[in-house]
Amino acid sequence: MRQSQQGLYLRGVKLLRESIPSFDAYPFHLNAIRTLDELEFHPKVTYIVGENGMGKSTLLEAIAIGLGFNPEGGTINFNFSTESTHSELHRYLRLIRSVNKPRDGFFFRAESYYNVATNIDQMDRETRRGPRLVDSYGGKSLHQQSHGESFFAAFLHRFSGNGLYMMDEPEAALSPFRQMAMLSRINQLVGQNSQFIIATHSPILMAYPDAVIYNLTSEGIERTTLEETDHFILMKQFINNRERMLNELFLEEDEH
């Protein structure tokens, strides 16, 4: 079977609808979850996009937990917890795996990456022998770098290829230039037999060619293209018609 048919590591995910006690409870009341049946993942890059509150981070988190990742991020071996805030969605998902198994993996969460960095420093202080964990992130404490530098250090040094990488809003703290550099890094890792599932708001990061984009809306989940996403349309309109859009925004503000 061709790779494009069977997926690389994770072929898809299915919601076990018959096991859900109530669709009135969080997060099952979200229409994107309520209408979910099965999603197929691209063997290279799959994007989960949508406005805030649609459930994209919740869905990505549940898939990551189902794969064995810490809800706050990191590798499979990270077992720290600062606060348990994840939903029960992972208990009602069936992951459809390929026969291939990744040799590397990472769940990147922008909102809790500070906690991952803290845990790395703590484990290195407690480990007396062997290589430091921080060496696999470039050799410098992530807390001693800017937010954007520490993010990119993980993408550049920790992601080693032959891996399954889950990423939640990785564009946070990254300049447009860094986002383009990250696209290049993704392409390098895809060439090294890696698969990405990414929740993002960034039209730049969504631009990876031949990717699958799922848009989560108040109506449910739809497969779309970069040019059809609100993110791309609004950004293009703003850049091409900046003065007119600013005037409209400020006029609305004055009316309120």
| pLDDT tens profile 92-130 | 999 999 999 999 998 988 654 545 555 554 554 556 565
- Same domain for 188 and 253, yes or no, is no
Burial pattern 5-35, b for ≥16 Cβ within 10 A else e, equals eebbbbbbbebeeeebeeeeeebbebebbbe
- Same domain for 73 and 192, yes or no, is yes
| pLDDT tens profile 229-238 | 999 999 999 9
- Where in the sequence is the domain holding 246, given as residue range(s)? 226-256
* Residues of the chain falling short of pLDDT 50: 1-5, 80, 82, 112, 114, 121, 124, 138-139, 141-144
- Same domain for 211 and 234, yes or no, is no
- Same domain for 162 and 239, yes or no, is no
The number of domains in the chain is 2
